[in-house]
Amino acid sequence: MTIGGVITAIIFGAIIGGLGRLIVPGRQHMPIWLTIVVGIVAALVGTWLAHLLHLRTHGFNFWEIIFQIALAVIGVLLVTTLWPRRT
């Protein structure tokens, strides 16, 4: 992976993680860097899942985006449940 691919993954991960946080109701007590990490993991796993199910993975893929956002929502829910709250 090139440096451009890494930067793209970080930017796309931030977008996916942000969408996941927007969909989850209420206030999430997690730092922005953790949102980006959740988004990157969700993007990678969502792409892998779309490829595993033999969905088209080149260019814009509706199902791949849906998988990524759904996994980001699940990730945000898990992190907010497990991440300690500030007092």
Domain coordinates in residue numbering, the chain: 3-82
Over residues 55-82, the mean pLDDT reads 85
Residue type at position 16:
I
What is the value of pTM for the model shown? 0.83
pLDDT on residue 77: 92
- Output the pLDDT for position 46: 86
